[in-house]
Amino acid sequence: MIRSAHIDTFTRDNLPPLDLWPELINIPAYPQRLNASVELLDRTIDLVGREKIALIAPEGEVTYGALLDQVKALARYFESAGVQAGNRVLLRGPNNASVVAIWFALLRIGAVVVTTIHLQRTGELEKIVDIASVQFACVDHRFTEDWNAVTHFKGKTFVYGAGDADDLLQIAATHAGEHTPCDTSSDDVSLLAFTSGSTGLPKATMHFHRDILAIADTFSAHVLRPSSADIFAGSPPLAFTFGLGALVIFPFRVGATSVLLEGAPPPVLLEQIAKHRVTTLFTAPTAYRAMLSHLEEKSFPSLHTCVSAGEHLPKSTWEAWNRATGIRIIDGIGATEMLHIFISAAGDEIIPGMTGKVVPGYEAIVVDEELRVVADGEIGRLAVKGPTGCRYLHDDRQRNYVEGGWNLTGDLYIKHSNGYFQYQSRSDDMIISSGYNVAAPEVENALLLHPSVAECAVVGVPDEERGMVVAAYVVLKSEFAGSDQLRKELQDHVKETIVPFKYPRVLEFVETLPKTTTGKLQRFRLKS
C-alpha cells in the first residue's frame, strides 16, 4: 500500500485483512499521489475552461470555475474548523449544487465523506454514526430534526442552506482564496457508502480516490462514451453510488453538465429533460415505466442515452420505451460494493431482456455454491472482479461477499454462450423495489417496535409498477384485532421509524407464520 496522507488513520486501520480482499485487476495506471477532487475539477477545467456550465441546480447555473472557487473556500474553512485528513464527515442533503460543492471540498482536504439519504430517520443515522465513527456532519437546514435527535454523535455539525449567519456556505465564502489540496494517495479512502445488510445492519463500503476515477474510466468511458457537450440528469440520490457516478463523477470526468433535481417524479423529470435539453438520463425501470404515460406531453429531441440500473429491467419496459422514443435503454448491474456498473451493453450490442456483457476492465463468471463455474445456460451465483471491489469497514460479512478473490453480489444469473448475462433473481432476502434496496429484517424490526405486533415477517412480492413491493405478514398480540385503521397505523409507524420508502405497501394480519421445527422463520413460503 502507498503512504497515506491521512492524519486520522481510522479507515486504513479498519480495512479488511488483505487476504479477505477481492482480487483487484486492470487498475488503470494512475499516479501514486492522487486526489479525486483535483482530477474531477482542476484537471477538467484545464480541458474545458472555467466558464463551462458544470451544474444546473435549484441554486441556478454554476460554472466549473465558480464551483472550484467555492470548493477552495469550503476547503479552507473546513481545515480552519479542525477537519483533518482521514476524519469521517457525514453529508446529509438532497441533490443540489451545495451538496456537490461540499463533497468536492471534503475530498480535497483528504476527509472521508459518509454519504446519507436525507430522509433517513434517527435510528438509521445512529447506526451509521456508530459504524463509521463520524466526527463531523454537514446537514441541509431543512433536514436537521432527525439528525439533531442522534444521541451518539458528539462531534461538530455544519448546517447549510439557511442563508443566515451560521450557514456553512455563508461562513465559508469569507475564506475565499487559493488552497493547496491534500496530497492523498491513490489508495487513501475517499468515501464510505452504506448499503443495506440482509440482517438489517447496514454495511459501510470503502472506496479509494482511484476507485472514483476507475468507474468513470471503465463503464462511463467504454459504454456511455460521453463528451463535454453532454447534459446529464436523473433521479437517483447522490447518497447512492449509482447517483454519485451518474450525476457527478461521469459528467465531471469529461467536462459535461449535470442537471440536479431535489425531487424527480416522472412528470418533473420529463419536464426538466425538455427544458435543459438533456442528452443522458439515469433512472430506474420503475421511472421509465411511469414516464411512458407522459411522453406525449413533452418533446425531447436532445435525449440520446438512457441508462437503467438499481433493479431488473423487464424486457417489456425496454421494448415499450424503445417503441415510444426510438432509444435503446442501456441496462446495467452494479453494486455499492463495486461502486458502479460492471455488466452492461450499449447501442447495437444491446439484447432486450439481457443485462449485457462484462464492462471492459472487469471479469464475471457464474458459479455454484462451491465456486465452480456452471455451464452456459445454467443458473448460478454471479461473481465479479475488476479495478474496484468490496472492502467493508470492520465487518465480518466481508467473508460472505468475497470468496476466492471474487465479489459475490447476491444475484442469480445465467451466462449465455455469446457472453451475455441474464438476470434471474436475488439469492438472499434483499427486496429491490423501484431501484431501492430494502432489507426484510430492517422492516421487521421497525414493525416489532409497535405495541400491537407480536411477530412479523417481511418479503418482497412481484409488482408490475415497482418490480417488487414490500409485503408484511403480522401476528398481533392477543389484545389487538386487525383492521384497516391498524394497518394504516402500522404502515405510518414504519415510515416514521425508517426511511419512508421502505414501508410495507402490502400488510396482512395472520394467525401464525411459517417456521421450521426448530422455530426458524421460512420467508420463502410467504413468497409462493
Q: What is the pLDDT of residues 428-453, one digit of tens each?
A: 666 877 777 787 778 887 898 899 99
Mean pLDDT along residues 246-270:
95
User: Which pLDDT band, with edges at 50, 70 and 90, does 464 fall under?
Assistant: confident
Mean pLDDT along residues 227-243:
95
Measured CA distances, 505 to 508, 514, 527 (Å): 10, 21, 15
Tell me how far apart the alpha carbons of residues 432 and 443 are, in angstroms, rounded to a whole number: 13
3-state helix, strand, coil in the chain (%, to 5): 35, 25, 40
Indicate whether 224 pLDDT > 90.
yes
Residue 297, pLDDT score: 65
Mean pLDDT along residues 243-248:
97
Q: What is the pLDDT of residues 57-107, one digit of tens each?
A: 999 999 999 999 999 999 999 999 999 999 999 999 999 999 999 999 999
Tell me how far apart the alpha carbons of residues 526 and 514 are, in angstroms, rounded to a whole number: 8
Residue 528, pLDDT score: 61
Of 175-189, 298-312, 330-344, 475-489, minimum mean pLDDT range: 298-312
- Phi, psi values for residue 37, rounded to 5°: -65, -45
More confidently predicted of 314 and 14 = 14
Residue 198, pLDDT score: 57
Contact assessment for residue 73 and residue 176, using Cβ atoms and an 8 Å cutoff: yes
Indicate whether 518 pLDDT > 50.
no
What's the pTM? 0.86
* Structure-block grid coordinates of residue 440: 426484510
Domains of the chain: 430-527 (3.30.300.30)
The Cα diameter of the chain in Å comes to: 70
HSE of 108 in the Cβ direction (CA atoms, 13 Å)?
28
Pairing of β 506-509 and β 467-476:
parallel
Q: What is the pLDDT of residues 293-334, one digit of tens each?
A: 888 766 789 999 999 987 778 788 899 899 999 999 999 999
Place of cell 477537519: 83
